[in-house]
Structure 1
Amino acid sequence: MYHHSLKHKLSIFIGLGMSLTAYAQGDNHYWTEFNADPTNSAILDYSYAGYKRGEKVPPTIAELKAQKYKEYKVTDYGLIPDDDKSDRQAFINLINTIGNKKTKAKAIIYFPEGRYILHDDDDNIVKAGVKQSETILINMGYLVIRGDGKDKTFLEMKTPNLPKSEKVMYSSPIMLQIKHNGKGVNTLQVYGQITADSKKGSHSITISDASQVKPGQWVWLRVQNYSDDVIDEELQNCTIENTMTDLKNNGVQVDEYHVVESVNGNVVTFKEPIMHGIKERWGWVLQEYPHYEEVGIEDLTFVGHACNDFVHHRTWKDDGAYKPLSLMRLTDSWVRRVGFQSVSEALTFETCANTSAYEIEFSGNRGHSAVRAANSTRAFIGNVYDHSDGYYVEQDYKTRYDGLGQYHACGVSKHSIGCVIWNCDWGLDACFESHATQPRATLIDVCTGGFMPRRMGGDRNQLPNHLDDLVIWNFNSKPTQTKAFGTYNWWNSGNVWVKVMPPMVVGFHGHLINFATNQMKCNESYGTAVNPKSLYLAQLERRLGKKNEWMQQITTGIESPQIFRPAEGLDKGIYTLKGEKLDMDIDQLPQGFYIIDGKKVRIN
């Protein structure tokens, strides 16, 4: 009932070693320039994105148990799978048993195989005579919620969460949110004012008083400046328009979350590079960053019942009725090997840092959005496969297609910075998300999917869609456009909905698009992919000085087995990762990872 039938597809994966794409000879000169001297490169260093800055994989359940985590099996606490009754209250009772508002809960919540209903109509409450839905809130760190596999454990929203107002189409609450409650901005401890300029890409800042700043501490580097001169400076050669009221009223806002490497006098050095240049006169500050750490969701599927005929902004039922998961004010946290079936908005990392979402699959009815980083720093969203079904917008929603994907694919919004969207495969009728309110410095790396115009998202009053340092590297475009739309504009003075500051586009190939190149920093190697195939992996391996081992370990299922590779001269047929030879053709294989002709590949 909950396993959406999959179309088999061979996709690029680990090391991007198995690919039919033709690549230009030699390394791309932008990479050569970066490799020689990252401090004088046209591209920033995006390699610090993800859990633990991309340096290691999140811990396994066995490793957590060795660290004295306690596992709570939900069926021992009143949750009953497959009985068609809500398990919400029993789940809330379990959360209270563990103890909410724990910085280090060291807890594993284990959902054995089966279907668990976490919201139905009986869970709605009545306030002032009006039915309302409420979010299940978890306030704790060092917590993992796990299942038996995304094809075995299902957490279901049986009915929609009711909106606060039907006219506000995004106002339905999220089903499950794990968050630190934070503090009011005016109550946060300010460690010091920034007293000197710092170059974009550098690691150090100078503040007025560093006595309260310690190595290993998470801190919040921020600025908000309302000056017209600063706004003009931020937009560079782009002109602010009357419709951009958010930028006019709230000014330039930059938020970066960092870990302190060292303190020398009043010079604070971060483990990660600064992704926005600092000018002392803008009024930057360094302050505390309330958060939880080490939260994980893995090996299960969230099930909703999104409309089977999704239309963008038609009703609240289309836009926001089924929003299963949100993570807020978390660092070094992850969502992996997770499915989303028939959901409106799947997953948002909000005000987080160094989070990872990978091995994610979308199926069922298409909805509003996929996986996004909102106001987050250095999020890594990788290996997302979106084959949800629905009606093609460009055909006026008249014909239903398989694999159109969520309306907005993976991406960023708000003050996100330094985020990486890596090796994702989304539908024909989509584009990466860049949902306005000042995101910056995003890498869209070796992704495949639709590149629909006017699909990045964002209300016109919150534009631009994206500010400086958008890099699109080796994008493989699917044939998406069924109506002629002419030139693909990035900053269209004749359209209030299209506002992207000049991007760097390198190695764009597949279905070619007529870009307005005068609105771009570059359109390098147009029509041909470049080397290195993945900028993120190349930068990470350069920084670590070795091959990226944790990326090699990503796999579906619960285990991370040793990869079997046939020896030279042996039969190079189809094998499991454990070395079991399969007497099957490729089109007969179920979804998963295999060794085919000596290479690890994914079958979808």
Structure 2
Amino acid sequence: MNRIFYILSSVIILSTSISYSQEAAIWKKFTGEITDPKIPTLFDYSYAGYKLGSEGIPDQFANLKTFNIVDFGAIPNDAISDQVAIQSAIDAAEKNKGGIVYFPKGEFLVNVKPDKTNPIVIKSSNIILKGSGMGKNGTVVNMVDHMLQRTPDEAEWKVSYMFTFISPKGENAKTAIAKSVNEGDFTIEVADGSLFKNTKYVQLEMPYNLIAAKEALKGKEPRPHWERLLEKGVMYIENHEIKSISGNTITLQDPVINTIKTEYNWIAKPFYPLENVGVEDIFFKANFNDAFVHHKDFLHDNAWSMISMQRVANSWVRRCKFSNMTGAVSLSNSYASSILMLLIEGNAGHKLTNVAESSRILTGLITDNTTSGQFHGAAMSHRTSGSVIWRVKTPKQGWDSHAEIPKNNLVDRYEASKMTNHGGFHGNEPHHLEGLTLWNYKRVGTPELNYDFWKLSGRGMYWGFSVVNPIIVGLHGSNTTFNEVNLGYLESLGKAVLPESLYEAQLKFRLKKTPKWVTSSLREWEKMEKQ
């Protein structure tokens, strides 16, 4: 990648208020105002989120019947478990082919003295868990005890979340992609289009490939202990909604994220996620009270975690509060969904939010007020692509990428004490391939000098964050400098740029106007943060 550096000053002064520099040159390149070949072209991140960012999450669901958990035996504010009643209400809504599972005001208890792992499971589309508000006099769901391991040797990070959304139908049938496709194209040609008759979604996959891995590193030398990359290469996965099919030609609702080369044996598979599932307006209270120790055991890693969504599309978690938990929300193998407006408080634990093996996910408007900060902040990892972390505050920690080669993701208006608090097994690194952009990142911690995104030496097997040619624009706050050799592009170090939010600006540029859900969410979030 060509490199050009627009560095305003090598000395950065921490300020309590944000002052903005001029409009970023790289933004002008994206809009076509300038054509400087030395400036890279930004990836279009604007398709992240529910309905690809073009629509807001509905406020009303008139077509869905309401199933009040009280009608199924739940009793607020007593000492008896309400879990059976909650699951029964969900089961009834699923039998009805959809419904709002309503939690009235008061506190409801789940996972009381379990003798086995027993998550509340949602496995149908159009199921919404809706409370009466996350604030005072709202709905509280109290996870009394921790989740249990399925077997004594179950990996600590695999322990179930309390509420688990999962599509029961996996991706089995497959067909080859017949023609090469450029990043940004909207159509693909497959060998057998009949596989997608009456199918709404498609999953595109490139199996592990060593040649593609060499290309992905852009000439950078791999670390010697990156076992998976060195032995197998890289693989890519991206999910899409189908707009139309004509013979073997599939037109997509959103553009292809990766350049697809037929010689790399790309395949297409029908994809069957849950649709229109959500969680909103609930205060989730757990009881993790230990001083957190990273990877100490399953209790510290995952046993007090709340909401997991696996294989979902056009779905969401919004307007919720979490306290004393190891993990708030996890999305995996999902598409075009949003995690929005979350407040995290109480004793700090392992994870904030995590997005893995997913495409076009928006994680935004989140504040971590826990004691020492969730050890890992908002995260995108494990082949996640085309996704955005937007206006998140983790003032005691940093954002996270848990390795396994995510690509083309944006961290937008993030506020943190660290550059990252990255994780992931060393054998699965690097942490991120090309296309990572940090836009108007604000650091509030101690100075970070000569930060290196591609160290080739260190103690043990963990040598620091590893990213292929990141783009950093408008990073400000605490004194921060970089090893510029391992940057793809650097502009306005020490002073924020315009546009203030790249995600919002790209969304407006694509849709020709700012969608109403953005402005209304920002107004609502400002009120929520004051609660």
Query: TM-score if structure 1 supplies the norm length?
Result: 0.79
Give the structure, 1 or 2, with the largest relative contact order (CA under 8 Å, sep 6 or more).
2
C-alpha displacement of 1:479: 1.5
Residue among 415, 435, 455 paired with 1:492: 455
**Residue in structure 1 matched with residue 476 of structure 2 by the alignment:** 509
**Residue in structure 2 matched with residue 36 of structure 1 by the alignment:** 32
User: Does residue 1:414 correspond to 2:363, yes or no?
Assistant: no
Residue among 116, 139, 154 paired with 2:123: 139
**Residue in structure 1 matched with residue 146 of structure 2 by the alignment:** 160
> 1:182 touches 1:329 (CA, 8 Å); kept in 2?
no
Secondary structure of the structure 2 residue equivalent to 1:33: helix
> 1:232 touches 1:239 (CA, 8 Å); kept in 2?
no
**Residue in structure 2 matched with residue 50 of structure 1 by the alignment:** 49
* Aligned residue identity for 2:436: L
* Aligned residue identity for 2:119: T
**Rounded Cα–Cα distance in structure 1 between residues aligned with 2:324 and 2:34:** 43
Change in Cα spacing, 1:168 to 1:212, as seen in structure 2 (3 Å) is closer
User: Does residue 1:533 correspond to 2:500, yes or no?
Assistant: yes
**Rounded Cα–Cα distance in structure 2 between residues aligned with 1:276 and 1:342:** 39
Post-superposition CA distance 1:459-490 (Å, at most 9, x none): 11111111111010011111246xxx753121
Secondary structure of the structure 2 residue equivalent to 1:161: coil
**Residue in structure 1 matched with residue 213 of structure 2 by the alignment:** 231
C-alpha displacement of 1:182: 2.9
Where do 1:86-125 residues align within 5 Å? 86-99=81-94, 105-121=97-113, 123-124=114-115
* Aligned residue identity for 2:108: Y
Query: TM-score if structure 2 supplies the norm length?
Result: 0.90
**Rounded Cα–Cα distance in structure 1 between residues aligned with 2:365 and 2:52:** 17
Change in Cα spacing, 1:147 to 1:280, as seen in structure 2 (3 Å) is same
C-alpha displacement of 1:181: 2.0
**Rounded Cα–Cα distance in structure 2 between residues aligned with 1:303 and 1:42:** 44
Residue among 429, 444, 460 paired with 2:411: 444
> 2:204 touches 2:269 (CA, 8 Å); kept in 1?
yes
Secondary structure of the structure 1 residue equivalent to 2:281: strand
* Aligned residue identity for 2:130: R
User: Does residue 1:603 correspond to 2:511, yes or no?
Assistant: no
Change in Cα spacing, 1:88 to 1:195, as seen in structure 2 (3 Å) is same
Change in Cα spacing, 1:337 to 1:34, as seen in structure 2 (3 Å) is same
Where do 1:318-397 residues align within 5 Å? 318-390=300-372
User: Does residue 1:434 correspond to 2:401, yes or no?
Assistant: yes
User: Does residue 1:22 correspond to 2:19, yes or no?
Assistant: yes
**Rounded Cα–Cα distance in structure 2 between residues aligned with 1:261 and 1:57:** 20
Where do 1:296-315 residues align within 5 Å? 296-315=278-297
**Rounded Cα–Cα distance in structure 2 between residues aligned with 1:444 and 1:452:** 11
C-alpha displacement of 1:457: 0.9
**Residue in structure 1 matched with residue 435 of structure 2 by the alignment:** 469
**Residue in structure 2 matched with residue 59 of structure 1 by the alignment:** 58
C-alpha displacement of 1:213: 4.1
C-alpha displacement of 1:72: 0.8
Post-superposition CA distance 1:224-274 (Å, at most 9, x none): 133x32221222222233422233455321111112234455443212121
Change in Cα spacing, 1:214 to 1:534, as seen in structure 2 (3 Å) is farther
C-alpha displacement of 1:99: 3.7
C-alpha displacement of 1:446: 1.1
> 1:38 touches 1:45 (CA, 8 Å); kept in 2?
no
* Aligned residue identity for 2:509: R
> 1:44 touches 1:275 (CA, 8 Å); kept in 2?
no
**Residue in structure 2 matched with residue 246 of structure 1 by the alignment:** 228
* Aligned residue identity for 2:387: C
* Aligned residue identity for 1:24: S
Q: Which segments of 5 or more consecutive residues in structure 1 lack a partner in the other structure?
A: 1-18, 125-131, 391-404, 558-591, 595-600
Q: Percent identity?
A: 28
Secondary structure of the structure 2 residue equivalent to 1:274: coil
**Residue in structure 2 matched with residue 273 of structure 1 by the alignment:** 255
Q: Which sits farther off after the overlay, 163-172 or 360-369? A: 163-172
**Rounded Cα–Cα distance in structure 2 between residues aligned with 1:252 and 1:37:** 35
**Rounded Cα–Cα distance in structure 2 between residues aligned with 1:506 and 1:81:** 49
Secondary structure of the structure 1 residue equivalent to 2:124: coil
C-alpha displacement of 1:384: 0.5
Post-superposition CA distance 1:134-169 (Å, at most 9, x none): 222211101110111112211121111123447843
Q: Which sits farther off after the overlay, 74-83 or 299-308? A: 299-308
**Rounded Cα–Cα distance in structure 2 between residues aligned with 1:408 and 1:135:** 23
**Rounded Cα–Cα distance in structure 1 between residues aligned with 2:492 and 2:33:** 22
**Rounded Cα–Cα distance in structure 1 between residues aligned with 2:34 and 2:120:** 44
C-alpha displacement of 1:530: 0.8
Q: Superposition RMSD on alpha carbons, in Å?
A: 2.4
Q: Which segments of 5 or more consecutive residues in structure 2 lack a partner in the other structure?
A: 1-15
**Residue in structure 2 matched with residue 201 of structure 1 by the alignment:** 184
Change in Cα spacing, 1:311 to 1:38, as seen in structure 2 (3 Å) is farther
**Residue in structure 2 matched with residue 70 of structure 1 by the alignment:** 65
Secondary structure of the structure 2 residue equivalent to 1:200: coil
Secondary structure of the structure 1 residue equivalent to 2:305: coil
Secondary structure of the structure 2 residue equivalent to 1:255: strand
C-alpha displacement of 1:111: 0.5
C-alpha displacement of 1:195: 2.5
Where do 1:392-403 residues align within 5 Å? none
> 2:204 touches 2:238 (CA, 8 Å); kept in 1?
yes
Change in Cα spacing, 1:489 to 1:307, as seen in structure 2 (3 Å) is farther
Secondary structure of the structure 1 residue equivalent to 2:321: strand
Secondary structure of the structure 2 residue equivalent to 1:260: strand
**Rounded Cα–Cα distance in structure 2 between residues aligned with 1:556 and 1:319:** 34
Change in Cα spacing, 1:555 to 1:444, as seen in structure 2 (3 Å) is closer
